[in-house]
Structure 1
């Protein structure tokens, strides 16, 4: 797999990373052996940048990755996160004592002395971001993390934090059906030498083969209440994406590979982290980093899935809590 730098001065990683949210059962029941097989497949494909969080299965995702690392010892770049306090009601905490306690717990589950990247999962609105950046700088000085990142934040927040201590990566949702980072976040990252890590680059399963179907979702799957997956929005989105699916098939690409190629094409600092717990699904991504889109390809994709094509917001009002809105 081709490689990209994880931000200015950061390590080189595979151009495509792995999101490990589903390892914690966030989209239905999961098994450790299936997750381990997925990690085997990721390494075999050159996917060595893995992304997890303390709340993915309330530590399950981190524990699975920690068990895998203890058994196999691969050299991978790990990112984890804290800042979301599970509810009900859900709240957000960026205080230093909370961040430190959560990092300590994450390191124990991961069986690591440090992680390469530690994110503020959601910003606590009442706390100055400069204070949070100072906390992260101290963790770096103490050798507990190599660098820090921010998630679902506005361009102004990125610039304020970076002025205190350089931000290594910013993680926001970004895909053919979610383009908000084009309205300032991508530019801020490019200007400052920050990696932009695109989560849900496959539209939460819609840009796969076959596309995800709400009727087959587990009862606890939060997508069942997501505006883009409920009627009549789901049918409209499926119809639009089926046109793209046919186009990708005509090019000899999987839908997932074509969608990831589009994300990778957005800039050399962009690293998508599609998520799966299935080695078979991961196989659909392979080769995306080798696809070189032409001007004609870009025009055809733009005609099939123009900015704003998606029916429904990317989150419900409840799900949008603590996502910074700036447009």
Structure 2
């Protein structure tokens, strides 16, 4: 179902060959538990429930969300917190949602992380997630990050057993190379690959996206709004608190931030000329790419969920797509994805 760039946005996006499909713009929930400042649990639950009523049906969580702090000394909600939030929110609404969660990232007492892909842990983690989510099945179960000590074939083999048992409907991977994707897919069809992808982070375009297309794997971009930068709400001089993960990221630092803000200013001008917000245009650019793509922008409040969902109605011509791609050419964006302080959390799927 791969369309040419600039084609109308699809009404639904298939998740690989699983038989599952979702609305084109989902909701990433991580920020409701960590990394982007405080969030009120009751407000989060109300936002998720309102999102379902709006028609959003793809919800992304992880057992890890809540387990790690954004910066040393920051408060955390606890391992499994985000799944519990989602389970609470979906009571009575479960059949209207496609639930995606993840396993393998585990916290240490020192506040760092390690990754566990042992087959026996796959089953343990799945059973715990099912309990926290209050459900009898996980629609899309991701291997969050690779355990370097365990062959991916062994881990995916254990995931395939969960599919056979009906506890998982489809499997996914996160932030892997084309080679790992091929090896995993040879054991069991991989339905989705979750990786960072947005106008200002384009690393998957060279090799990962073509391999997804060849194998029929749907790409699920996290941080599709550049960790909020592409939403257009920041200005030069914006300061991020110690409990905000962005305070440690190179793209948000000093001269890099000021330079990147000028690119966002041009995006803001482009969007205003068409009567849309910068974030809507950034999401529409993703949906216009010639691949099956289902972005999961994070949002804590319903106003942002509503704004992001409306991106499916933003028309972009092939010339518009090309112009935006040139504006955010990777050579023009300054700063890497992660800084030196992020070794403990950088692989935990920060949205």
Are 1:236 and 2:245 counterparts? no
Contact kept, 8 Å, 1:23 with 1:60, in 2: the verdict is no
With CA pairs under 8 Å and 6+ residues apart, which has the higher RCO, 1 or 2? 2
- Distance between the aligned counterparts of 1:208 and 1:66, measured in 2? 28
Match of 2:89 in 1: 68
For the aligned residue pairs, the C-alpha RMSD in angstroms reads 1.9
| Equivalent residue in structure 2 for 1:78, among 69, 90, 99 | 99
Worse-superposed segment, 310-319 or 161-170: 310-319
| Equivalent residue in structure 2 for 1:165, among 185, 188, 204 | 188
Contact kept, 8 Å, 1:83 with 1:120, in 2: the verdict is yes
Match of 1:2 in 2: 11
| Equivalent residue in structure 2 for 1:96, among 101, 116, 119 | 119
- Distance between the aligned counterparts of 1:230 and 1:239, measured in 2? 14
Contact kept, 8 Å, 2:145 with 2:174, in 1: the verdict is yes
Match of 2:166 in 1: 143
- Distance between the aligned counterparts of 1:126 and 1:72, measured in 2? 39
Could you give the per-residue CA deviations for residues 140-199 of structure 1, whole angstroms, max 9, x where no partner exists?
Answer: 112111111100111110011101111111000000011011011111111111111000
Extract unaligned runs of 5+ from structure 1: none
| Aligned-pair CA distance for 1:239 | 1.3
| Aligned-pair CA distance for 1:4 | 1.1
| Equivalent residue in structure 1 for 2:315, among 292, 309, 323 | 292
Contact kept, 8 Å, 2:62 with 2:103, in 1: the verdict is yes
Worse-superposed segment, 37-46 or 153-162: 37-46
Question: How many residues matched?
Answer: 323
- Distance between the aligned counterparts of 1:13 and 1:163, measured in 2? 25
| Aligned-pair CA distance for 1:75 | 1.6
Contact kept, 8 Å, 2:236 with 2:261, in 1: the verdict is no
Could you give the per-residue CA deviations for residues 290-319 of structure 1, whole angstroms, max 9, x where no partner exists?
Answer: 223212212321332223322110112553
The TM-score with structure 2 as length reference comes to 0.87
1:262-277 maps to which residues of 2 (within 5 A)?
Answer: 262-277=285-300
Match of 1:174 in 2: 197
Cα pair distance change 1:209/1:38, threshold 3 Å: farther
| Equivalent residue in structure 1 for 2:227, among 187, 198, 204 | 204
- Distance between the aligned counterparts of 2:343 and 2:208, measured in 1? 17
Contact kept, 8 Å, 1:26 with 1:56, in 2: the verdict is no
Are 1:120 and 2:143 counterparts? yes
Match of 2:134 in 1: 111
Cα pair distance change 1:113/1:76, threshold 3 Å: same
Worse-superposed segment, 59-68 or 306-315: 306-315
Q: Could you say what secondary structure the match of 2:169 adopts?
A: coil
- Distance between the aligned counterparts of 1:187 and 1:126, measured in 2? 28
Are 1:20 and 2:43 counterparts? no
Q: Could you say what secondary structure the match of 2:273 adopts?
A: helix
Worse-superposed segment, 302-311 or 113-122: 302-311
- Distance between the aligned counterparts of 1:166 and 1:9, measured in 2? 8
- Distance between the aligned counterparts of 1:164 and 1:178, measured in 2? 30
The TM-score with structure 1 as length reference comes to 0.93
Could you give the per-residue CA deviations for residues 256-283 of structure 1, whole angstroms, max 9, x where no partner exists?
Answer: 1100001111134111000111111222
Contact kept, 8 Å, 1:170 with 1:195, in 2: the verdict is yes
Q: Could you say what secondary structure the match of 1:207 adopts?
A: helix
